[in-house]
Amino acid sequence: MNEHARSNINSLWGSFLAEALSRLGIRHVVLSPGSRSTPLAWGIAHCAGLEAVPVLDERAAGFFALGLARQHGRPVALVCTSGSAAANYLPALVEAHHSGVPLIVLTADRPPELRRCAAGQAIDQTRMYGVFAKDYFELPLPEASAGCLRQLRQVLMQAVRLSKLPERGPVHINCPLREPLAPELGKVMELDFSPEALLEELVPDNAGAPLPDFGSIPLPPRVRRGLIIAGSVMADCDRDARYSLWTLASRTGWPIICDALGPWRAAEVSDTVCRIGAYDEILKSPSSCEALAPDFVLQIGPLPTSKVLRQWLSSMDTRTLIASAGLESLDPLHRRSRQIVLPPELLHLLPLPSGEDLSYSELWKEAEGTARAKLNAELDSADGLSEEAVARELFRSLPAESRLFVANSMSVRHVERYAELGHSQFRVFFSRGANGIDGTVATAMGMAHGGRGFLLTGDLAMLHDAGAMLLAGELKGALTVVLVDNKGGGIFRRLPVAKLEDAAFERFFVTPQNVDFQALASAYGAEYSLVRSLGLLRGELKRDCTKKLRILHLRMA
C-alpha cells in the first residue's frame, strides 16, 4: 500500500481497494477525473499492480474499458465521480451485458446525508444500470476498522467472481464517501490491526464454468447431414478455439459455416475440414437451399449477421444444439434448439456422431468455390474503390498478430460477405451485443492498447464517437482507422423507406455530415492520408504509423 495509505480513513479505504483489485487479478483500471472519487483514484494511481488509464469523458472511458476487457479476456475496472458522470457509462454497459464482457464499475457517491437534498452532483445511483448490471453492491461508509475492510474485501471478491461466472458481464459497486477526500500530508493513523494481513488472504479466483453433463444432452445417435455454424465468437485464445473446432469437424466430417467475426476464417487447415465463407451468396439460390439442407445443426455462439442464412435456418426448423459461453438465449429464430454452456476451446469434447452422407461436405465445397469466384469477379471487374473491396483487402493484407475492430452497420456486412478463407492470423473484434455504433472509436482504442490495431468503420460511426480520439494520448501502441466515407448512413439505403424517394429520407435517415476529416485529424494530433486506390491502401496497411492514431480516408464515389 502507498505511503499516504494511512493518512486518513478515506486514503486507507482507497489504497486497500486498489491493492485488493490487483490481488484479485485486475490489471487495468480506467478512471475519469472528479472530486468525490479522489480516494479511489489516488489509491489506484499509486498501486504498482494496476495500470491506470485516465480518460476525460466517462462515455468514452466505458467503451475503452470494454475494448480492453475484450482484448485480455479478464475484468477491467471503471472509476468515476458521482452524479451524471456515472450515467455516461450506461451505453457501454448495455453492450457489455449483451456481449458478455466483464467490467467492475466503481461509482463514487455522496454520503446518505447529502442525498435527495439538492447537494451538488448527487443523483440516485442505486441500481442505476438496472438489468444491464449483473449485480449491484452498496458499500458502507469507510471506517478504519478491520471489520469494515473485511466487508470491502468480501464485496470486491464477490464482484470480480460474478463478473466472470456463470457468464461474463458488468457488476456495479456504489461507493459513498465523506470528506476529507484527499490524503492529508503529515498525518498517520494508528491502527490496531494490519491491513496488509487482510490483503494476504486474497488470491485470484480462476475457476471456470462447470462443464455440462454430456450424458444429459439429447444428442442424436445418428446424423445423416450435420452442419456446424461457427458464429461471432470472441474466444480467449483464437488458436485453441480453432484447434478444438477443427478436431471436432475432422472427426464428424461436418462442414463449417464460418462467420468472419469469429476466428474461423483465419489460417489454412487440412483437407479434412470443410470451411464455408460465402454462405450469404450460396443461400441466395433456392436450389442450393434445398440441396444443402441439414438434418442437425451445431451452432457455436451467436448466429452470423447474414439475413439470408437466418431465413434459411428459420424455414427448416432443424434440430439444433447451441454451444454458448453464457446463459442468455442465442436462438432468435425460436427453433427446436437446446443450449449448453461450453467454451469454444472445449468444442472437441462434444460426443457428436459422424455424418452418414459422405457427399454432403463435397456439395458445400463445390458451392463455396463457385460463389467465391463470382464474388471476387464482381470486385475485380469494378472500377475504382468500393466499400466491398476495402473489406476484402483488409483480410488479405493486415499483418499477422495485429488486431482488427469491425464497426457495425455496413462494415460488418461487407466483411461477412467478402472476407476470404485462409487470411493471416490477426484477431477480429466487434460489438454485436446491442449492434449499435456507440463507442466505436473508444472500443477500438481499448482493443489496440498495447499493440497494433486497425478499425474498419463508416463515416457516421466514426463521427458519432469522434471525441474518443482524445484517448490517443494515453494509447500504448497504435490504431489505424480505415475510414470508408460514403457520406452518411449507407445501411439506411437498404430500408423500404428509401424507395419512397422523399427528400426527408436523405436528411433524417442518411444524415450526411459535411466534415473535413483532415482538419479533424489535425485537431486531435492524428496522422492523416487520403487513399485513392486499393494498391495505396495495401501499402498503407503494411506501413508503421508515425503517430499513435492514423486515419486512412477512403472517399466512395
Higher-pLDDT residue of 442 and 116 is 442
| pLDDT tens track for 315-358 | 998 999 999 988 889 999 999 999 999 999 999 999 999 999 99
Domain final residue, candidates 148, 171, 200: 200
Say if residues 468 and 64 touch (Cβ distance below 8 Å).
yes
Task: Give the pLDDT of residue 99.
Answer: 95
Q: Kindly state whether residues 352 and 297 are assigned to the same domain.
A: yes
Residue 4 in any domain: the answer is: no
- The SS3 assignment for 93 reads helix
**In the β-sheet with 320-324, what is the strand arrangement from edge to edge?**
275-276, 256-258, 226-230, 296-300, 320-324, 337-341
Residue 311 in any domain: the answer is: yes
The three cell numbers of residue 164 are 466472470
CATH number at residue 334: 3.40.50.1220
Helix 90-99, helix 58-72: angle, nearest 10: 20
- 518: nearest Cα among 537, 531, 501: 531
CATH number at residue 440: 3.40.50.970
End-to-end CA distance of the chain: 59
Say if residues 129 and 105 touch (Cβ distance below 8 Å).
yes
Residue 380 in any domain: the answer is: no
Residue 353 in any domain: the answer is: yes
Number of structural domains found in the chain: 3
Q: Kindly state whether residues 165 and 54 are assigned to the same domain.
A: yes
Collect all residues with Cβ–Cβ distance below 8 Å to 106 and sequence separation of at least 6: 17, 37, 40, 77, 78, 79, 80, 173, 175
How far apart CA 220 and CA 384 sit, in angstroms, is: 51
Residue 214 in any domain: the answer is: no
Q: Kindly state whether residues 354 and 300 are assigned to the same domain.
A: yes
Task: Give the pLDDT of residue 204.
Answer: 84
Cα atoms found within 13 Å of the Cα of residue 273, Cβ hemisphere only: 23
Domain final residue, candidates 300, 335, 368: 368
Domain final residue, candidates 200, 228, 263: 200
Residue 133 in any domain: the answer is: yes
Q: Kindly state whether residues 184 and 63 are assigned to the same domain.
A: yes
Q: Kindly state whether residues 176 and 39 are assigned to the same domain.
A: yes
Residue 288 in any domain: the answer is: yes
- Position 496 confidence tier, pLDDT thresholds 50, 70, 90: confident
Q: Kindly state whether residues 184 and 327 are assigned to the same domain.
A: no
- The SS3 assignment for 145 reads coil
Q: Kindly state whether residues 191 and 293 are assigned to the same domain.
A: no
Q: Kindly state whether residues 361 and 408 are assigned to the same domain.
A: no
- 408: amino acid identity, one letter: N
How far apart CA 99 and CA 438 sit, in angstroms, is: 14
Task: Give the pLDDT of residue 20.
Answer: 97
Residue that the C-alpha cell 483514484 belongs to: 41
Q: Is the pLDDT of residue 487 over 90?
A: no
| pLDDT tens track for 229-284 | 999 998 989 999 999 999 999 999 999 999 999 999 998 788 889 999 999 999 99
**Domain range spanning residue 329?**
220-368
Which string of DSSP letters, residue by residue, matches 235-288? -S-HHHHHHHHHHHHHHH---EEE-TTTTTTBS---TT--EE--HHHHTTSHHH
- 137: nearest Cα among 125, 145, 148: 125
Which string of DSSP letters, residue by residue, matches 199-223? HHT-----PPPPPP-GGGS---S-B
Higher-pLDDT residue of 143 and 6 is 143
Task: Give the pLDDT of residue 507.
Answer: 84
Q: Kindly state whether residues 344 and 397 are assigned to the same domain.
A: no
